[in-house]
Amino acid sequence: MTGFASKVSAGRRRPRWWIVVLAAVMAVPLVAGVSARAEAAGVEWTPYSESDQWTDDSCGYPTDVAATFSGRVGVRAGTGPDAGYLFFTNNYAFREVHTDPATGRWFVVRGNGQFKNVKATPVGGNVFEVTSKNSGRLFVVEDATGKVVLRFAGLVTFRYTVDTGSGDVVDQGVTLAGHVPDASVCSAAGSILGIDSASRLTAHPLGATASPLGYYEYLPPGYGSGAKKPLLIFLHGFGGNGDGTSAQLPNVINDAGIAYYIANNGWAASRPFVVLAPQHNFIESPAFPYPCDVPFGGSCLMQHQHDYGNPLPAGSACWAPSEIHAFLDYALAHYNVDPTRVYLTGLSCGGYGVWESLAQFGAGRIAAAVPIAGDGRPALRSSGCALASAPIWAFHGDADDVVDPAGSIDTIAGLRACPAPPAKELRLTIYPGVDHDSWDHAYSGSQGQDIYGWMLGFTTG
């Protein structure tokens, strides 16, 4: 389990946009610097200036980003005991403008700093390994008036390999440490854009209510007055597991997806759902081993859990349909929601939980479902065409190396091939070049898919 768990934890969320920009700052000068004749005596300085544009959706909503990078990089060859090594010094500055395409509101992220005498270690041929660290106040977030709403202070460590022959730079990972977590960046940005979802989020640890699971609750504006609201149940991934106590329940909002967005001012008030995000507890058991340190380890784990019968209270690394069913019973009994408008979504292990729930109790209870980066093939093999008991819109990245994209592709294809009576509405979206984290695209709608409007188009009545 150790290898698979670490891989899922590392890949469950792409780096936040401010880490991405710092990584880009490093990549630009290194490419320019290694093209210089670093073997010459002294330091050769190369200035650089770049601009770029992209769409960011890592905080739960899309923003159009226009960025500029500038600075200069120095490269020198080591001498004496350091002969054969290269040393980089990078003085950089960057500025991003993030604009909400829906409202025109915007904010700025800017920063500057220096990586000094970073040692590049030869690893073979023309390839060098670079580890660089930057500490202090690395960047600020400003609103449209120039007011600083967040200062990040901490340590960011970048790891790269650099090919001095081709100029290729390969990102080997970014880690950070500091007293301001990345969640605060999304919270600050969302507040500038007029989003205040965090204030409507309430934690309910296990034992504080009659719920069989600890969970988070989001109540939309207008809840409790007028018509009953639709219910959306969000199932977290492997990184959100915990025992439901006040100490471990925050794993749910620190993981990824809808619960993270709500907790960090990334959830639009216009969405009418009551959102409940329960927590699954994985208790390991020697009776249920997971020998899944293999390619597509997530799919391996999901197949094993299905074959074990989704055991509880111990043995299920991912969600089990029986606990989701019990939590849904609790939700319908304790919230003013419309029982004909119950929607289910989840990512990774949560996506698996969606597929398994559809197979076990979806008919007549789930109005529509959105499984993301989960493997539905075990449920399809067991349940066949009955798996399409509700409309399904599945999402996956075609570069996912944790859960096989075939887990969505083959499952939807199999359901589409079902004979009469035809399956419910089935949709499949595959994001080219996207790894395990296909949920930021799907949940934010940044690529044009509106899952929320789609779900609301269905009822079980």
Residue type, 70: S
Report pLDDT digits (tens) over 216-249.
999 999 998 888 999 999 999 999 999 999 999 9
CA distance linking residue 141 with residue 98, whole number of Å: 10
The model's pTM: 0.85
pLDDT for residue 176:
65
Query: DSSP string of 59-127?
Result: TSS-EEEEEEEEEEEEEEE--GGGTT-EEEEEEEEEEEEEE-TTT--EEEEEEEEEEEEEEEEEEETTE
pLDDT at site 167: 66
Q: What angle do the packed helices 182-192 and 17-34 form, to 10 degrees? A: 110
Four-residue CA torsion sign, 395, 396, 397, 402 = positive
Tens digits of per-residue pLDDT, 259-273? Answer: 999 999 999 999 999
415, two tokens: 């359901």
Q: How confident is the model over 123-149, as pLDDT tens digits?
A: 888 787 878 777 656 788 999 999 988
Q: Could you give the CA distance from residue 193 to residue 222 in angstroms, rounded to a whole number? A: 21
Q: What is the pLDDT of residues 301-323, one digit of tens each?
A: 999 999 999 999 999 999 999 99
Mean pLDDT of the residues in the chain: 86
**Whole-angstrom Cα distance, residue 348 to residue 369?**
14
Point out which residues pair with 122 in neighbouring strands: 128
The predicted model gives 156-164 an average pLDDT of 76
Residues β-bridged to residue 142: 108, 148
For the chain, give the percent of residues with pLDDT over 90.
61
